[in-house]
Structure 1
Amino acid sequence: MFSLVLMRSQPYRLCSLGKMLPPPKRTPCLAGFIYTAGRWSNKENSRTVEKLCTFSVDIRKIRRLKGWVLLEDDTYVEEIVHILQELGADDTAIGSILERCPEAIVCSPAAVNTQKELWQLVCKNEELVKLIKQFPDSFFNVKDQENQKLNVQFFRELGLRNVVISRFLTTVPSIFHNPVENNKQTIKILQESYLNLGGSEANMKVWLLKLLSQNPFMLLDSSASIKETLEFLQEQGFTNSEILQLLSKLKGFLFQLCPRSIHNSISFSKSVFKCTDHDLKQLVLKCPALLYYPVPVLEERIQGLLKEGSSVAQIREMPMVLELTPQIVQYRIRKLNSLGFRIKDGHLANLNGTKKEFEANFGKIQAKKGRPIFNPVAPLKADE
């Protein structure tokens, strides 16, 4: 997960004889000084600027987004460029990488080489260049390299494919900065939970690897929160097999919910659909989104369907439509309306499914609408 650093400059104030002096005029973008935090900062490193220009890097873009990099005394432009060139990156790719992640030039070349060797364990150079170009911040995050290495080794021993581990490195780099023992403990809890819920030893590895591939963010949760969520679901009357079913359908995102949020969603759904605990369980098993989405989201989606002419009874019969955003629902209803379909007279199943499934179903309805009511080739029957 990537963090956004929001920098706010403080107002410039210089008091003299009780008067406020205006801030200095803005300097041209090529000037060597930058006005920040109410004072003149250090001069830009002209050597850094010149070398970046040599590689056709847009200096103005760096000044606008991360100008502090240009103020650093120690930078390694040529060294970082050389490492990228060794991997096979061309000038265009290098320029794009340094513009998007200029802090790369303040990383130690030794640390970047270590990072390169680490990532090469799970992907080839050609693929590595593509990943660095797409996720430069993840690659040049060179802290905790010993943790990163141990975690890569652990995930490989666990049986995760290299392509999955490389995806983790780019999209969820924070799990590699966890102490490896933390990740091992979380995996152990997941394995024990699976067996305690009735899963078989033979299927456990496949289940675990699929769960991690779908949702690596689980590794950011504490083992205590995982246990708490499972115990809460059992208290709500879900059987072990039903909980396993929910975990598979929600791809492990269930662990990222707190019991209080789940309880609120359950209470809201029970009130809206006016059903018993048993009936609600069946609705949740058909549509786990009733557990996952917070009350405001569920309320918005139900209200959106009602405004389009649907009824609570229709939603209860086909709760999976609540997995769709109001915008998607409106778009699909307009398309169906163009064929004469009216939501209040029909079944919500026509709205359901992925984009591909909906378009395929819409095509069938459209073809059926355009079909003649009689065969124009066959002769008409007449009374003799």
Structure 2
Amino acid sequence: MLRLIASSLCLRCQRAPALPLKLRPCVTLSSAENQQTVEALYDLSVDIQKVRKLNGWVLHQNPAYTKEVANLLRDMGASGSVIARILSVHPESVLCHPEQMQAQRELWMSVCPNQKELVSIIEKFPASFFTSSSHHDNQRDNIAYFQSLHLNKRIVTKLMASAPQSFSRPVEQNQLMMQTLQQAYRELGGEEANMKIWLQKLLSQNLFVLLKPPEVLRENLLFLRDRGFSTAELLRLLSKLRGFVTELNPDSMRHMMAFSQETMGCSEEELRNTVLRCPALLYYTEEILSERFKGLLSAGISMAQIMETPTVLELTTQIVNYRIQRLKAYGYDVRTGSLQVLNGTKKDFEMSCGKLQIRRERPLFNPVAPLRGDD
């Protein structure tokens, strides 16, 4: 029994997430908590029970720099409540050496416009800021590389915060993917003057595009070209797919295009035109598309209407049904009208409903009716 318990504990340690710092991956159950850390966290109003439950191993580490982390954040303008939230969500931050934290602060300030914004980023992505010192050189090299491309600082900051893996790895890997994207853009007829804007848009829409193998991009573009898409259409797809073209593969796209064509009963050319207007047909699963097709058809919408406005397939069945009922209350029948009114964000839809309500309540003007004079 003791051997079984010991074995299960070891397995539990092996399944624990990789630590961002060079620390012991597991501590023994008998090791005592670092009381200085516990007391410092109490003083900062950190939820100790939450830390014990989710990251209890941190409280057993020595040395810890709880006060130093708090002072660094406070010096950047963080309030007490913000500091408490950061340490509650990411208590591992107290294990960062003060010199390492200061180096990170200087590094991030090279792309952040001010310390207030940096504090906001740390609050949302603490693990991206309090990272291993072994990644510092790669971070610095990657920042320098992206700055050499004259990319907007906000894009670089967003990448560092949301996709820190892109900055912790050697700069050569990012250079290779960026060069592949630039080459594809040129080969597809993209204008050199617009390349920077195009790259920024692509990176901001899919922050993990750099982590994909360049070969995947080439294979997918070749597949789509073989399916009859022109170079101009491929550039449109690459731009509209928000980087999904690097997450797909020829087999999955072949399957989804065959499914969509059979479901819609359209020709190859009609399918290409539909995909260009709704690239989601390439990356949604068969289960998702099947459900959405059935939902639209069961609401009395024809397949011809769907093909005319295929972006309606990007909405869940629940949202579509809700919007159909809202429109019906204003006298709009989607079975005979355009589906375009169903599209857009929640704000766009509410604006459309508002216009329909005004149109419904506005009295009709009768040009032959006598005008009412003053009594």
How much identity, in percent, do the aligned residues show?
Answer: 45
Counterpart check, 1:141 vs 2:118: no
How many Å separate the matches in 1 of 2:29 and 2:201? Answer: 54
How many Å separate the matches in 1 of 2:55 and 2:141? Answer: 32
TM-score by length of 2: 0.87
Partner of 2:249: 258
How many Å separate the matches in 2 of 1:130 and 1:203? Answer: 31
Residue 143 (structure 2) aligned to one of 126, 142, 152: 152
The alignment's C-alpha RMSD in Å is 2.3
> Which stretch has the larger CA shift, 52-61 or 220-229?
52-61
Local SS of the residue matching 1:80? helix
How many Å separate the matches in 2 of 1:168 and 1:377? Answer: 65
Residue 55 (structure 1) aligned to one of 33, 44, 56: 44
1:249 deviates by: 1.8
Counterpart check, 1:366 vs 2:357: yes
1:302 deviates by: 0.9
1:137 deviates by: 1.8
Partner of 1:354: 345
How many Å separate the matches in 1 of 2:349 and 2:244? Answer: 25
How many Å separate the matches in 2 of 1:86 and 1:345? Answer: 62
Counterpart check, 1:321 vs 2:327: no
> Quick check: 1:351–1:358 contact (8 Å CA) kept in 2?
yes
How many Å separate the matches in 2 of 1:201 and 1:350? Answer: 36
> Quick check: 1:88–1:126 contact (8 Å CA) kept in 2?
yes
Partner of 1:131: 121
1:13 deviates by: 8.5
1:368 deviates by: 1.4
Structure with greater helix percent:
2
Residue 330 (structure 2) aligned to one of 315, 323, 339: 339
How many Å separate the matches in 2 of 1:192 and 1:65? Answer: 45
Q: 1:305 is aligned with what amino acid?
A: L
Counterpart check, 1:183 vs 2:174: yes
Q: Could you give the per-residue CA deviations for residues 99-122 of structure 1, whole angstroms, max 9, x where no partner exists? A: 111001112222211111111111
Q: 1:312 is aligned with what amino acid?
A: M
After superposition, the Cα gap between the structure-2 partners of 1:65 and 1:11, relative to the gap in structure 1 and judged at 3 Å, is farther
Partner of 2:65: 76
Q: 2:47 is aligned with what amino acid?
A: D
Counterpart check, 1:110 vs 2:107: no
TM-score by length of 1: 0.85
Equivalences, count: 348
How many Å separate the matches in 1 of 2:366 and 2:158? Answer: 55
Q: Could you give the per-residue CA deviations for residues 146-192 of structure 1, whole angstroms, max 9, x where no partner exists? A: 11111111111111121221111211111111210010111111111
Can you give the 5+ residue segments of structure 1 that lack an aligned partner in the other structure? 1-9, 15-36
Partner of 2:199: 208
Partner of 2:75: 86
How many Å separate the matches in 1 of 2:293 and 2:261? Answer: 13
After superposition, the Cα gap between the structure-2 partners of 1:371 and 1:154, relative to the gap in structure 1 and judged at 3 Å, is same
> Which stretch has the larger CA shift, 168-177 or 369-378?
369-378
How many Å separate the matches in 2 of 1:370 and 1:116? Answer: 58
Local SS of the residue matching 2:64? coil
> Quick check: 1:159–1:209 contact (8 Å CA) kept in 2?
no
How many Å separate the matches in 2 of 1:180 and 1:40? Answer: 41
